[in-house]
Amino acid sequence: MRLILLGPPGAGKGTQAAKIVEKYAIPHISTGDIFRTNISQGTELGKQAQGYMDKGLLVPDELTCGLVADRLSQEDCKVGFMLDGFPRNLFQAISLDEILKDTDTKLTKVVNIEVDKELLVARAVGRRICKSCGATFHVEFNPPKEDGVCDVCHGELYQRADDNEETVSKRIQVYLDETKPLVDYYSKQGIVASINGDQQIDKVFKDIELSLGSEK
Ligand code: ADP
Ligand code: AMP
């Protein structure tokens, strides 16, 4: 199963990704997570990416496409993969087409999670993430049992630096300008499953499972 998760910031991609990779046993490749790990480790890539991320802009394609190509060439991706946050513009989509062509593989599905713009800022600003295991919560819509503590591993929850109202609004605009056109790009290939993301988390996942049917 080779999947792309598309959708605006706050749509619920990371939340659904955790459920999808558990059920389908494929690696979860989030370019945002890769950049954040590099920032926390103080790598050169992290230093280059940080300024763009703080402003809500896309990290340049030269930094992004190569790292995805490297990641997809790793052994664990032989069984498939789920890309979350990549591709984010037409250049990246074409670059992914080339990677797939080189390996003689095709995308199974593009899962497009749709949520009204009005809800997205509240979703992202209230997001809290576990420092240890990466599980995602929301202070209001999906609160942890204990304030600030992860339900899964009891790790400490933190708020992403770019989850403030100003940066989130910018990221939504960047999504509308650069990423949303990819829905059309993949629709022309007949592989888009659009999912209503404004439902309970488990119901969104049920709809994704239905859309994937018996795909392998
Ligand atoms: P994305 O990866 O698309 O940016 P996340 O999965 O991190 O989005 O979700 C953004 C925030 O919204 C998180 O705080 C998450 O707990 C919350 N969330 C995700 N899905 C839903 C949902 N169906 N209903 C309400 N809140 C949700
Ligand atoms: P995300 O974790 O997907 O919300 O991404 C957080 C930030 O990381 C984005 O606002 C971008 O600055 C950067 N980023 C993540 N993925 C990409 C990508 N595919 N191309 C460019 N920038 C990206």
Domain boundaries, the chain: 2-116+166-212, 127-162
| C-beta separation of 8 from 117 below 8 A | yes
How far apart are the CA of 117 and the centre of ligand 2, in A? Answer: 18
pLDDT for 216 beyond 90? no
Pocket lining for ligand 2, CB < 6 angstroms:
9, 31-32, 35, 52-53, 56-59, 64, 85-86, 88, 92, 171
Confidence of residue 38 (pLDDT cuts 50, 70, 90): very high
Ligand nearest to the CA of 61: 2
Confidence of residue 215 (pLDDT cuts 50, 70, 90): confident
Rounded Cα distance between 151 and 1, Å, is 29
Count how many residues are written for the chain: 216
Give the count of beta carbons closer than 10 Å to the beta carbon of residue 11: 24
Task: Please state the rounded mean pLDDT for residues 174-191.
Answer: 98
Full-model pTM: 0.96
39-96: pLDDT as tens digits: 999 999 999 999 999 999 999 999 999 999 999 999 999 999 999 999 999 999 999 9
* SS3 label, residue 83: strand
Ligand nearest to the CA of 161: 2
Task: Please state the rounded mean pLDDT for residues 203-210.
Answer: 98
User: Which CATH number, 2.60.40.420, 2.30.130.10, 1.10.3720.10, 3.40.50.300, labels domain 2-116+166-212?
Assistant: 3.40.50.300
DSSP of 154-174, one letter per residue?
Answer: -PBEE--TT-SHHHHHHHHHH
